[in-house]
Chain A
Amino acid sequence: GENVEQHPSTLSVQEGDSAVIKCTYSDSASNYFPWYKQELGKRPQLIIDIRSNVGEKKDQRIAVTLNKTAKHFSLHITETQPEDSAVYFCAANPGAGSYQLTFGKGTKLSVIP
Chain B
Amino acid sequence: NAGVTQTPKFRVLKTGQSMTLLCAQDMNHEYMYWYRQDPGMGLRLIHYSVGEGTTAKGEVPDGYNVSRLKKQNFLLGLESAAPSQTSVYFCASSYSYGGPDPSYNEQFFGPGTRLTVL
Is A34 in contact with B106, judged by CB distance below 8 angstroms?
yes
Residues 18-62 of B contacting A (Cβ, < 8 Å): 31, 33, 40-45, 48, 50, 58-59
Given contacts A103-B43, A104-B42, contact A43 B109 (CB under 8 A): yes
Is A73 an interface residue, CB under 8 A from the partner? no
Is A31 in contact with B103, judged by CB distance below 8 angstroms?
yes
A77 to chain B, nearest CB (A): 19
Is B10 an interface residue, CB under 8 A from the partner? no
Q: In the assembly, what is the distance between CA of A73 and CA of B42, in Å?
A: 17
Q: Identify the interface centre among A93, A98, A99: most chain B CB within 10 Å of its CB.
A: A99
Is A113 an interface residue, CB under 8 A from the partner? no
A88 to chain B, nearest CB (A): 11
Residues of B within 8 A of A102 (CB): 45, 59
Q: Contact partner of A100 among B40, B48, B96, CB < 8 A?
A: B48
Is B15 an interface residue, CB under 8 A from the partner? no
Is A49 in contact with B40, judged by CB distance below 8 angstroms?
no
> Nearest CB to that of A97 among chain B residues?
B101
Is A31 in contact with B101, judged by CB distance below 8 angstroms?
yes
Q: In the assembly, what is the distance between CA of A56 and CA of B44, in Å?
A: 27
Is B107 in contact with A43, judged by CB distance below 8 angstroms?
no
Q: In the assembly, what is the distance between CA of A42 and CA of B94, in Å?
A: 19
Is B42 in contact with A105, judged by CB distance below 8 angstroms?
yes
Q: In the assembly, what is the distance between CA of A89 and CA of B101, in Å?
A: 23
Q: Identify the interface centre among A34, A43, A93, A106: most chain B CB within 10 Å of its CB.
A: A43
> Nearest CB to that of B31 among chain A residues?
A99
| B interface, CB within 8 angstroms of A | 31, 33, 40-45, 48, 50, 58-59, 90, 94, 96, 100-107, 109-112
Given A99-B96, A99-B105, 10 more A-B residue pairs with CB atoms under 8 Å apart are A1-B59, A6-B42, A31-B103, A43-B112, A44-B109, A97-B101, A97-B102, A97-B103, A99-B102, A100-B58
5 smallest A-B Cβ distances: which pairs? A43-B109, A105-B42, A32-B103, A103-B43, A103-B42
